[in-house]
């Protein structure tokens, strides 16, 4: 009886001391607590996966204009953006003059008219021969100016018309400062009209030896075709001169880039799932950017309407928070 009572007292004292010393064995079972923590971590993973990707059917993607393309190797251009002016080419502008003095009887062309070589432009009564003779166009082109009126007296050697062949035009590009040391003849150049954004590729033909007096710039010259007649002498243009080409293992269009939480991402498509992929970027030009890390050649990347994917993922994340 006394022995049993002593054993019971010892057990009770042991339990009380364990509780007072904060013994973790006296708390809830450790296995259950750790299981609860594992479940919580799993929920976080599911949440991260949910807000970083979205599912869009092929039909909906087509309707939204979403376009994907395989990431591939490419070239990043080292470019210089400059401005310039269109001007007629030397040797393609002709002055039309009266051969003999006399009153102008008729005029058959006006500014802006297209004329062909040999076409009659005016008739004049000669004061010397007392006969009428015709003035013809020496070249085909557009009438740029007219300094004649019916009934006026044309002086000998006086200019009556100016005709320009505008089928091709010079583009005089103005280059400033240290850029002049990097730009040489023979490199590619893209010329863009400011009126409507139409562009044309060409080759830089020469860098002129002098300096433009008014702007103190160096002038580099190229040529554009004027098939549609919308490249007009005197108009300002923009141009990108490519001075070097740098190969890159993986490049994507700039339209593929988006930013999420301050991080550069692209959206990689696998089937109908679009996932945000953080990327490390390198060199870029006006159209493309090098991806140094985070993307492999061949992976399908959204290159058009990438902001639609970003918005859809954002909506999914907001819905999950609520």
Phi then psi for residue 90, to 5 deg, are -60, 140
Residues 141 and 258 grouped into a single domain: no
Residues 202 and 239 grouped into a single domain: yes
Is 189 a member of any domain?
A: yes
The CATH number of the domain holding residue 59 is 2.40.420.20
Work out the percent of the chain whose per-residue pLDDT is above 90.
Answer: 68
> What is d(CA 270, CA 235) in angstroms, rounded to the nearest whole number?
48
145-173 pLDDT, tens digit per residue, is: 999 999 999 998 889 999 999 999 999 99
The CATH number of the domain holding residue 140 is 2.40.50.100
What pTM did the predictor assign?
Answer: 0.61
Residue that is last in its domain, among 164, 187, 210: 164
What does the pLDDT read at residue 282? 95
Is 298 a member of any domain?
A: yes
Range of the domain at 192: 79-89+167-245
> What is d(CA 29, CA 24) in angstroms, rounded to the nearest whole number?
9
Residue that is last in its domain, among 130, 164, 198: 164
Helix (H, G, I), strand (E, B) or coil at 318: helix
- Classify burial at 255, counting beta carbons within 10 Å of its beta carbon; exposed 0-12, middle 13-18, buried 19 or more: middle
Cα–Cα distance list, 280 to 10, 245, 248, 265, 266 (Å)? 66, 20, 13, 9, 10
> What is d(CA 199, CA 197) in angstroms, rounded to the nearest whole number?
6
Q: What is the mean pLDDT of residues 7-14?
A: 39
Q: Are residues 171 and 150 in contact, defined by beta-carbon separation less than 8 angstroms?
A: no
Helix (H, G, I), strand (E, B) or coil at 25: helix
Is 236 a member of any domain?
A: yes
CA nearest neighbour of 206 among 175, 176, 252: 175
Is 117 a member of any domain?
A: yes
Residues 261 and 310 grouped into a single domain: yes
Q: Are residues 256 and 293 in contact, defined by beta-carbon separation less than 8 angstroms?
A: no
What does the pLDDT read at residue 215? 79
- Tell whether the model's pLDDT for residue 83 goes beyond 70: yes
| Domains in the chain, number | 3
Residues 191 and 307 grouped into a single domain: no
Residue that is last in its domain, among 146, 164, 182: 164
- Tell whether the model's pLDDT for residue 189 goes beyond 50: yes
CA 131 to chain CA mean position, Å:
63
Residues 64 and 194 grouped into a single domain: no
> What is d(CA 148, CA 158) in angstroms, rounded to the nearest whole number?
10
Residues 259 and 143 grouped into a single domain: no
225-243 pLDDT, tens digit per residue, is: 999 999 999 999 999 998 8
12-67 pLDDT, tens digit per residue, is: 334 344 444 444 443 333 334 333 444 444 444 443 344 589 999 999 999 999 99
């Amino acid at each position: 009886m006394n022995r049993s009572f002593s054993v019971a007292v010892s057990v009770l004292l042991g339990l009380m001391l364990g509780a007072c010393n904060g013994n973790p064995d006296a708390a809830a079972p450790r296995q259950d607590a750790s299981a609860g923590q594992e479940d919580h971590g799993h929920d976080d993973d599911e949440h991260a996966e949910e807000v970083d990707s979205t599912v869009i059917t092929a039909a909906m993607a087509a309707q939204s204009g979403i376009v994907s393309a395989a990431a591939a190797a490419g070239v990043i251009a080292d470019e210089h953006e400059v401005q310039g002016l269109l001007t007629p080419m030397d040797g393609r502008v002709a002055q039309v003059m009266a051969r003999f003095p006399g009153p102008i009887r008729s005029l058959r062309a006006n500014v802006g008219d297209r004329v062909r070589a040999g076409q009659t432009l005016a008739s004049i009564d000669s004061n010397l021969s007392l006969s009428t003779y015709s003035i013809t166009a020496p070249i085909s082109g557009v009438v740029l100016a007219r300094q004649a009126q019916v009934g006026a007296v044309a002086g000998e050697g006086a200019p009556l018309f100016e005709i320009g062949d505008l089928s091709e035009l010079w583009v005089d590009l103005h280059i400033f400062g240290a850029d002049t040391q990097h730009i040489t003849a023979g490199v590619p150049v893209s010329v863009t009209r400011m009126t409507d954004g139409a562009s044309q590729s060409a080759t830089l033909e020469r860098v002129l030896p002098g300096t433009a007096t008014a702007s103190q710039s160096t002038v580099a010259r190229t040529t554009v075709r004027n098939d549609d007649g919308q490249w007009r002498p005197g108009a300002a243009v923009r141009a990108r001169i490519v001075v070097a080409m740098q190969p890159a293992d993986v490049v994507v269009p700039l339209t593929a880039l988006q930013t999420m939480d301050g991080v550069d991402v692209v959206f990689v498509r696998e089937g109908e799932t679009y996932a945000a992929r953080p990327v490390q970027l390198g060199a870029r030009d006006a159209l493309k950017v090098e991806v140094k890390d985070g993307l492999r050649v061949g992976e399908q990347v959204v290159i058009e309407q990438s902001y639609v994917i970003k918005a859809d993922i954002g909506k999914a994340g907001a819905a999950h928070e609520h």
